[in-house]
Amino acid sequence: MITPSETLLLIIDVQGRLAQSVVRSSALVAGTGKLARACKILEVPVLLTEQYPKGLGTTIDSLKELLTEAVTVEKLSFSCCGSPEFMKQLRSFNRNDILVAGMEAHVCVYQTAVDLVEFGYNVHLVTDCVSSRSEENRTLGIRCIEKAGASLTSSEMAIFELLRVAEGERFKAISKIIKE
C-alpha cells in the first residue's frame, strides 16, 4: 500500500504536440490532472520530466498550471534514469514508492519504469495516465512494465489508497476532484 510520506508522483513527458497525438489523450490529461491535484492536497511531491523540450515543446499548459510546485527536469535519454539531474532530484525526495504517469508507454515510461525497478524502487504504473501513439504500443508498454515488476493502478485507485479514510477536509477536497 502506498502512503503520502513514502510516495512521489513522476509525470513523464506530457508535452506539446505529442500529447495531442497519443491514444486516449484526453483521458491521460484528465487523470493526470486529478492525480496531480490530489497529490498536492496529500503533500505528495511531483517530479516532472520533459524530453528535449526545444523540439517537442514543454509540458502542456493544463498540467503546467497544476504543477507550479513540481520539480522539472529536461532530458535527452529515453529513460529518465539516464539523466544525472533526474537521479539527483529523485534521490533528494527520499521516497520509495513511485507513481508513474506519462508517455510514451512503450518508450520513455517503459525504460524509466524498468530502471526504477532495477534500482529498487516500488513502481506503480498509473494505467489510465499513460499512453502511446498507438493502442498496440500502449498495451505492450503496460504489459512489459508489469512483467518487469511494477504494480498496476489507476488514478482513482492510487488517490484513494493514498487518502485511506473517508473523513476530514482532505477527503472533502479530493471527493470534489474525483467527481469532476
Q: Which of 39, 80, 81, 108 is catalytic?
A: 108
64 is catalytic: no
Q: Is 154 exposed, middle or buried (0-12, 13-18, 19+ CB in 10 A)?
A: middle
Residue in 40, 75, 80, 129 annotated catalytic: 75
97 is catalytic: no
- Phi, psi (rounded to 5 degrees) for 44: -95, 120
The answer to whether 13 is a known catalytic residue is yes
Catalogue the active-site residues.
Answer: 13, 75, 108
